[in-house]
């Protein structure tokens, strides 16, 4: 019997509500597939920060090291500045475990209504490949002359050759493996003088290794406009840490709800655990009401099982999601229904058991 050890960090806000549904769905799929899953819970969050001054213990990363994967809810809550919560929990995990690929699929499911006119399932079906450990996400910089009229703030970006090439290589390989074989790169090479022209050059050079892959490059501003105007054009999108993050919120917004979107923080070499989470954040405005949509977390759980080599469980969970969305009886309010978080979780469990 296959067995996997999963570290669970529900985190903040609706993370505490959607993660239990993800676990219920995983347990149902594991029972049906004859797989043993063991979950170890880590209660690290903004509450921990209030109690200890840290988002996780000093040896938190060491505690996570031996797991097969990490399953995370959401990070951040009013009362703790967002940059302190993110740099205290989520970002150190991505970096310590070299999860340099952030893979975010975007799909319009049958049963959901795109806010864009005349879009049907199949029209929106692409991946965002986001660089996940460097780029614009950086704590390098500082403030001088603070509190005076002369205040100066510097914020440094970091683009290494190794970091740029490995994310581009991952995206080219993914594009090559797909039917459309189309890769689009998002930059801003007219405004960002050094980093983006560098990225463009590495992209153009690498394209020569992939003659079957159709490529294009757009500035991020027109990229966002095109994504809304014609999402069907896209197949695989690659972008830096910041641009990839923005595009992977915009993409699922075009499918009816951002809450359905998953995020896989992958260490492709499997030297370290990878981490799986919904794209959405802690949503303090709806936290504690049992109305959050758990599907982003459930889809992330499916990606986790696929990463761990269990395609059967992945397919089972995805089939249950597709069926429940298509049927439309247990949808949360962001998808036009009235179901609670737990009712949607139960519908998925029932579907897997049927
Ligand atoms: N699901 C985890 C979460 O809280 N995401 C919100 C967020 O802002 N994440 C930062 C990022 O992905 O860079």
Say whether both 129 and 224 belong to one domain. yes
- For atom 7 of ligand 1, the residue with the nearest CA is 281
C-alpha 58 – ligand 1 centre gap (Å): 21
Say whether both 249 and 268 belong to one domain. no
C-alpha 90 – ligand 1 centre gap (Å): 8
Say whether both 133 and 183 belong to one domain. yes
Say whether both 223 and 249 belong to one domain. yes
Q: Does residue 88 form part of some domain?
A: yes
Expressed as residue numbers, the domain containing 205 is 125-253
**What is the average pLDDT across 9-31?**
98
Answer whether residue 225 shows pLDDT above 90. Answer: yes
The residue out of 231, 253, 275 marking a domain boundary is 253
C-alpha 306 – ligand 1 centre gap (Å): 22
pLDDT digits (tens, 9 = 90+) for 187-204: 999 999 999 999 999 999
The residue out of 204, 231, 253 marking a domain boundary is 253
Closest ligand 1 atom to 11 CA: 4
C-alpha 122 – ligand 1 centre gap (Å): 27
- Indicate which CATH number applies to the domain containing 319: 3.40.718.10
Say whether both 7 and 66 belong to one domain. yes
pLDDT digits (tens, 9 = 90+) for 127-170: 999 999 999 999 999 999 999 999 999 999 999 999 999 999 99
Q: Does residue 114 form part of some domain?
A: no
C-alpha 31 – ligand 1 centre gap (Å): 30
C-alpha 72 – ligand 1 centre gap (Å): 10
Q: Which of 83, 85, 90 to mutate to test the pocket of ligand 1 (most atoms within 8 A of CB)?
A: 90
Cα dihedral across residues 252, 12, 297, 66: positive or negative: positive
Say whether both 276 and 234 belong to one domain. no
- For atom 11 of ligand 1, the residue with the nearest CA is 245
Q: Does residue 195 form part of some domain?
A: yes
Lining residues, ligand 1, CB within 6 Å: 74-76, 86, 90, 245, 277-278, 280-282
pTM for this entry = 0.96
Give strand pairing partners of 142. 154
Q: Does residue 113 form part of some domain?
A: no
- For atom 9 of ligand 1, the residue with the nearest CA is 281
Say whether both 27 and 52 belong to one domain. yes
Give the C-alpha separation, 142 to 270, whole Å: 35
The residue out of 228, 253, 278 marking a domain boundary is 253
Helix (H, G, I), strand (E, B) or coil at 173: helix
Contact call for residues 269 and 97 (beta carbons, < 8 A): no
Closest ligand 1 atom to 86 CA: 10
Q: Are strands 141-144 and 152-155 parallel, antiparallel or unpaired?
A: antiparallel
Q: Does residue 115 form part of some domain?
A: no
Say whether both 238 and 275 belong to one domain. no
Q: Does residue 313 form part of some domain?
A: yes
- For atom 1 of ligand 1, the residue with the nearest CA is 74
Answer whether residue 352 shows pLDDT above 90. Answer: yes
| 141-150 LR contacts (CB < 8 Å, sep 24+) | none
Say whether both 249 and 131 belong to one domain. yes
With pLDDT > 70 as the criterion, what percentage of the chain qualifies? 100
C-alpha 185 – ligand 1 centre gap (Å): 22
Say whether both 323 and 346 belong to one domain. yes
Q: Does residue 106 form part of some domain?
A: no
Q: What is the pLDDT of residue 1?
A: 83
- For atom 5 of ligand 1, the residue with the nearest CA is 281
Say whether both 214 and 281 belong to one domain. no
Contact call for residues 294 and 267 (beta carbons, < 8 A): no
Q: Does residue 111 form part of some domain?
A: no
- Please determine, for the modelled complex, whether the ipTM score is greater than 0.95: no
pLDDT digits (tens, 9 = 90+) for 67-114: 999 999 999 999 999 999 999 999 999 999 999 999 999 999 999 999
C-alpha 168 – ligand 1 centre gap (Å): 22
Answer whether residue 238 shows pLDDT above 90. Answer: yes
- 318: enclosing H helix or E strand: helix 311-327
Structural domains in the chain (count): 2
H-only helix segments in the chain: 15-33, 46-52, 60-64, 82-85, 91-96, 161-177, 195-207, 220-229, 241-253, 295-307, 311-327, 341-353
Say whether both 244 and 129 belong to one domain. yes
pLDDT digits (tens, 9 = 90+) for 298-342: 999 999 999 999 999 999 999 999 999 999 999 999 999 999 999
Answer whether residue 294 shows pLDDT above 90. Answer: yes
């Amino acid at each position: 019997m296959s067995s996997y050890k999963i570290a669970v960090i529900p985190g903040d806000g609706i993370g505490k509500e959607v993660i239990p549904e993800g676990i219920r769905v995983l347990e149902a799929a594991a029972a049906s597939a004859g797989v043993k899953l063991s979950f170890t819970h880590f209660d690290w969050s903004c509450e921990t920060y209030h109690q200890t001054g840290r988002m996780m213990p000093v040896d938190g990363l060491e505690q996570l090291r031996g797991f097969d994967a990490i399953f995370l809810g959401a990070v951040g809550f009013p009362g703790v500045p967002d940059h302190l919560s993110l740099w205290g929990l989520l970002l150190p995990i991505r970096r310590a475990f070299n999860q340099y690929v952030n893979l975010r699929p975007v799909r319009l499911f049958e049963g959901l209504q795109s806010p864009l006119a005349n879009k049907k399932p199949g029209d929106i079906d692409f991946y965002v490949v986001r660089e996940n450990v460097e780029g614009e996400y950086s704590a390098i910089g500082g403030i001088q002359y603070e509190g005076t009229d002369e205040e100066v703030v510097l914020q440094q970006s970091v683009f290494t050759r190794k970091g740029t090439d490995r994310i581009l290589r991952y995206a080219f390989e993914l594009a090559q493996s797909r039917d459309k074989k189309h890769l689009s790169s998002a930059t801003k090479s007219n405004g960002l003088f050094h980093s983006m022209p560098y990225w463009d050059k590495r992209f153009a050079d690498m394209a020569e290794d992939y003659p079957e892959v159709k490529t294009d490059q757009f500035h991020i501003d027109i990229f966002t406009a095109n994504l809304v105007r014609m999402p069907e054009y896209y197949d695989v999108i690659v972008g830096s840490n910041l641009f990839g993050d923005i595009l992977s919120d915009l993409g699922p917004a075009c499918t009816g709800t951002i809450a359905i979107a998953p995020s896989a923080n992958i260490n492709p070499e499997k030297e370290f655990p990878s981490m799986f989470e919904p794209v959405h954040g802690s949503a303090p405005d709806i936290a504690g009401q049992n109305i959050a949509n758990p599907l982003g977390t459930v889809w992330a759980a499916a990606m986790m099982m696929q990463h761990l080599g269990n395609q059967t469980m992945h397919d089972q969970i995805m089939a249950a999601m597709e069926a429940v969305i298509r049927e439309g009886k247990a949808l949360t309010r962001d998808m036009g229904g009235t179901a609670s978080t737990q009712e949607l979780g139960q519908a998925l469990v029932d579907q897997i058991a049927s």
